[in-house]
């Protein structure tokens, strides 16, 4: 059994992660904490009272974060479902204490520390941790995860895009001198639990936001190894991401060859499904699962490729992917706790 702590368990991703780990046969949750941004508001709040769908599954409470208490706990790992600045500030002392850190924020995703002030609003002071962090996309970095001390979990939008584009770029299937476009629509849970006017039930609508300025833009470019024009949209639904990508294929490539490449690349992957011809991803097929579904079609005359992916932003885009990485880190089966026969508490 591995003993773990979750910081930020009162947010959507943290709560989803808590629910998954409550059902994991090799994990004991020692304690749940709120993020420092929440102060004492979550102190001594029962998890199953804040999230009633887990009523009767646990009597754990969400306490105000106490870093000294966490460091002195007898645990193997800490999950940070915290604001970016909080993860930035507390990761180093946790690592110094010998704990494995799984960070669901964006604090350690980018290699270039100078980008943090522009895209995240704070100056990054831990360049060595940026070099040390392993990007937690198992399909790209599985070989590095068993030895990782700091795992930087990908953003939800980047997951839906990088899984599709990165293998094509690497294989030379895409004309990178032409424009690559990714338009993504996310459910409102992607905005987090803190209320805002745009996420209010009576105000939420389908609309783009943070055009050319979204913090996931440089992350997508870094791990796709290409310049991608990314535009996020807010959808009037609770969870899930649908991404539609446009690009020109390179000479010598056609739809059958691209499909074969993706199928060969993901045939052994438990959570990526390349759909058949003229079958397209849809949110209803992936919500409440850890799957990424991929569909594609090429206009051969125009040499234009359209790719579509769908994920659950709180699972494959956050908590489920974190669990995948944890399983790989500690030598468990990668699908443990995420299998199809898992109890409905995943929902």
- Letter string b/e over residues 1-30, b meaning 16 or more CB atoms within 10 A of that residue's CB: ebebbbbbbbbbbbbbbbbbbbbbeebebb
- How many other β-carbons are positioned within 10 Å of the β-carbon of residue 72? 10
Cα–Cα dist 32/45, whole Å: 10
Asked if the domains at 2-154+315-346 and 156-311 fall in one CATH topology, the answer is no
Give Cα separations from 262 to 63, 273, 292 (angstroms).
45, 9, 13
For residue 344, the model assigns a pLDDT of 41
Q: Which pLDDT band holds residue 193 (cuts at 50, 70, 90)?
A: confident
How high is the mean pLDDT of the chain? 93
CATH number, domain 2-154+315-346 = 3.40.50.720
User: pLDDT digit string (tens) for 232-287?
Assistant: 999 999 999 999 999 999 999 999 999 999 999 999 999 999 999 999 999 999 99
Residue 174's pLDDT is what?
Answer: 98
pLDDT beyond 90 at 203: no
What is the arithmetic mean of pLDDT over 178-198? 86
Q: Give the model's confidence band at 195: pLDDT under 50 very low, under 70 low, under 90 confident, else very high.
A: low
Helix pair 320-329, 12-22: axis angle to 10 deg: 50
Answer whether residue 37 shows pLDDT above 90.
Answer: no
Residue 346 has pLDDT above 70, yes or no: no
* Of residues 122, 101, 104, the one with CA closest to residue 113: 122
Mean pLDDT throughout 166-180?
Answer: 97
Residue bearing the bigger pLDDT, 45 or 256: 256
pLDDT, residue 40, reads 53
Q: Which of 34-43, 221-230, 271-280 has the lowest mean pLDDT?
A: 34-43
Look at residue 129 in the predicted model and tell me its pLDDT.
97
The architecture in CATH of the region 156-311 reads 2-Layer Sandwich (3.30)
> pLDDT tens across 287-331, in order?
999 999 999 999 999 999 999 999 999 999 999 999 999 999 999
pLDDT at 173 over 50: yes
Q: Which helix (H) or strand (E) holds 67?
A: helix 67-71
Q: What is the mean pLDDT of residues 159-183?
A: 97
Residue 202 has pLDDT above 90, yes or no: no
Least confident of 35-39, 98-102, 300-304: 35-39
Predicted pLDDT of residue 190: 79
% of residues, the chain, pLDDT over 90? 88
236 against 344, higher pLDDT? 236
pLDDT at 196: 73
CB 268 within 8 A of CB 201: no
Q: Are the beta carbons of 160 and 243 closer than 8 angstroms? A: yes
Q: What is the pTM of this model?
A: 0.94
- Confidence (pLDDT) at 337: 94
Domain ranges of the chain: 2-154+315-346, 156-311
Q: What is the pLDDT of residue 43?
A: 52
Is residue 14 very low, low, confident or very high in pLDDT (cuts 50, 70, 90)? Answer: very high
47: tokens are 């998890």
Per-residue model confidence (pLDDT) at position 192: 74
Active site residues: 156
């Amino acid at each position: 059994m591995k003993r773990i702590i979750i910081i930020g368990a009162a947010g959507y991703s943290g709560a989803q992660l808590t629910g998954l780990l409550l059902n994991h046969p090799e994990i004991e949750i020692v304690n749940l904490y709120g993020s420092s941004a929440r102060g004492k508001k979550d102190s001594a709040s029962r998890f199953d009272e804040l999230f009633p769908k887990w009523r009767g599954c646990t009597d754990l409470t969400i306490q105000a974060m106490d870093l000294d208490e966490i460091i002195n706990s007898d645990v193997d790992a800490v999950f940070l479902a915290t604001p970016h600045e909080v993860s930035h500030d507390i990761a180093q002392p946790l690592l110094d204490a010998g704990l494995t850190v799984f960070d669901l924020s964006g604090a350690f995703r980018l290699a270039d520390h100078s980008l943090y002030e522009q895209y995240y609003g704070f100056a990054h002071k831990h360049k060595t941790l940026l070099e040390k962090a392993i990007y937690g996309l198992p399909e790209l970095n599985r070989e590095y995860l068993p030895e990782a001390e700091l795992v930087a979990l990908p953003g939800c939008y980047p997951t839906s895009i990088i899984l599709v584009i990165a293998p094509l770029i690497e294989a030379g299937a895409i004309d990178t001198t032409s424009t690559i476009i990714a338009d993504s629509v996310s459910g409102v849970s992607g905005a987090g639990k803190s209320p805002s006017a745009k996420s209010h039930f009576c105000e939420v609508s389908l609309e783009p936001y943070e055009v050319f300025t979204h913090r996931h833009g440089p992350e997508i470019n870094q791990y796709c190894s290409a310049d991608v024009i990314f535009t996020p949209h807010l959808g009037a639904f609770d969870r899930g991401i649908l991404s539609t990508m446009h690009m020109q294929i390179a000479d010598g490539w056609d739809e059958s060859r691209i499909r074969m490449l993706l199928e060969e690349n993901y045939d052994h992957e438990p959570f990526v499904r390349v759909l058949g011809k003229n079958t397209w991803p849809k949110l209803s097929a992936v919500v409440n699962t850890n799957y990424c579904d991929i569909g594609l079609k090429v206009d051969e005359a125009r040499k234009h490729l359209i790719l579509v992916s769908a994920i659950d932003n709180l699972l494959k885009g956050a908590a489920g992917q974190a669990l995948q990485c944890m399983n790989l880190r500690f030598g468990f089966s990668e699908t443990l706790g995420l299998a199809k026969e898992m109890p409905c508490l995943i929902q």
